[in-house]
Amino acid sequence: MPIKKTSSAHPKRTSPASSPGFHGRVWVDGPDGTFIGYGRVVLLERIIEHGSITQAAKSMKIAYRRAWDLVDSMNQQARHPFVVLATGGKGGGGARVTEEGRRAIKVFRQFHRDFEAFLKKEEKRLKF
List, for residues 1-56, the tens digit of each pLDDT value.
Answer: 343 434 445 555 554 444 678 888 999 999 889 999 999 999 999 999 999 999 99
Pairing of strands 33-37, 27-30: antiparallel
CA angle 60, 107, 113 (to 5 degrees): 75
Residue 13 pLDDT? 53
pTM: 0.79
Q: Where along the chain do its domains lie?
A: 30-126
Identify the bridge partners of residue 119 per DSSP, sorted by sequence position. none
Q: With bands split at pLDDT 50, 70 and 90, how would you rate the model's confidence at 116?
A: very high
Give domain 30-126's CATH architecture: Orthogonal Bundle (1.10)
Residue 128 pLDDT? 54
Look at residues 96, 1, 18 and name the one whose alpha carbon lies nearest to residue 55.
96
Contact 44, 83 (CB under 8 A): yes
Rg (CA), the chain: 17
> Can you tell me the distance from the alpha carbon of 63 to that of 71, in angstroms, rounded to the nearest whole number?
13
Top-confidence residue, 124 or 55 = 55
